[in-house]
């Protein structure tokens, strides 16, 4: 089996989603130094999803901005750190940091739930935001090589850090107004997507909760029929070492989740 291939799922019927219809990826922070001398990812926030970091190796930190202020939380093996919608976060490198990311509402982050902390002039122009946020795809002339993709990812990261440092400095002065203005700008950017997000939620996280309700009602009646549908599934990364928001990213093609960025360098797992 090639390094890019994955074992096929086993069992009968469609491949089941992960518990609670969550999304999953593995991340390592970028090792590019930013304007403040720190190596790390692209600051951003999620508008509808809680995100969790499970630290699997190395050391580093996650820098966060909320209306309550700026905080830097250490990341070390075994740590579990999570943050709710509206938390601007930036993963920063310490020494070989590696994190498994669990994301609520699989499919929403990839559908635009995440917004970068670009400067206000970029956030105010949807077309400018899209240009700054989107990495080149194989269809982009002259932009398909790894060096071109890395340059684009670094430019995106640096632009997000530019806006982030302004927000952080204001919070250090106990001024949450710029962060709240960013919240408003982000909400305007994604408002037109909310209807499609609702459909993803209904068929993903909501459907998972409703299945549990169905099972509990059946068990209350001593009906074990759903247990006969038991199955095992397995897969591996559909992309290794891609360019994510927080850093280099291993992606998994999971039920209910779309694969972001439009750039692929390895094979998808077999179905």
The closest alpha carbon to 162, from 177, 176, 182, belongs to 182
- State residue 8's pLDDT score: 44
Average pLDDT, integer, range 40-62: 97
List b or e across 75-101, with b for residues whose CB sees 16 or more CB atoms inside 10 angstroms: beeeeebebeebbbbbbbbeeebbbbb
The one-character DSSP state at 203 is: I
Per DSSP, helices labelled H in the chain are 120-123, 126-133, 146-172, 177-190, 194-201, 207-220
Average pLDDT, integer, range 73-99: 97
In the CATH hierarchy, which fold is given to the domain comprising 19-251?
A: Jelly Rolls (2.60.120)
**Does residue 260 carry a pLDDT above 60?**
no
**pLDDT of 67-80, one tens digit each?**
999 999 999 999 99
Separation of alpha carbons 232 and 110, rounded Å? 26
- State residue 139's pLDDT score: 54
Global pTM value? 0.87
Q: Could you tell me if 266 and 240 are in contact, meaning their C-beta atoms sit under 8 angstroms apart? A: yes
């Amino acid at each position: 089996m090639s390094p890019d291939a994955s074992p096929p799922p086993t069992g009968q019927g469609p491949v089941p989603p992960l518990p609670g219809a969550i999304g999953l990826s593995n991340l390592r922070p970028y090792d590019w130094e930013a304007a403040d001398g720190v190596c790390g990812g692209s600051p951003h926030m999620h508008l509808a999803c809680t995100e969790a970091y499970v630290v699997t190796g190395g050391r580093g930190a996650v820098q966060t901005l909320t209306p309550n202020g700026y905080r830097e939380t250490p990341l070390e093996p075994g740590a579990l750190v999570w943050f709710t919608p509206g938390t601007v976060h930036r993963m920063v490198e310490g020494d070989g940091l590696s994190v498994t990311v669990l994301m609520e509402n699989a499919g929403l982050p990839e559908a635009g739930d995440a917004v970068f902390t670009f400067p206000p002039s970029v956030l105010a122009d949807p077309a400018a935001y899209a240009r700054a946020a989107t990495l080149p795809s194989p269809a982009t002339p002259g932009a398909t090589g790894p060096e071109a993709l890395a340059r684009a990812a670094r430019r995106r990261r640096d632009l997000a850090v530019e806006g982030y440092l302004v927000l952080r400095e204001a919070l250090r002065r106990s001024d949450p107004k710029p962060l709240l203005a960013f919240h408003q700008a982000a909400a305007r950017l994604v408002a037109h997507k909310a209807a499609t997000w609702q459909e993803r939620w209904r068929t993903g996280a909501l459907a998972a909760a409703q299945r549990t309700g169905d099972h509990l009602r059946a068990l209350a009646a001593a009906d074990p029929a759903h247990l006969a549908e038991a199955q095992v599934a397995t897969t591996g990364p559909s992309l290794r070492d891609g360019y994510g928001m927080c850093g280099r990213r291993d992606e998994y093609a999971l039920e209910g989740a779309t694969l972001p960025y439009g750039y692929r360098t390895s094979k998808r797992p077999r179905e």
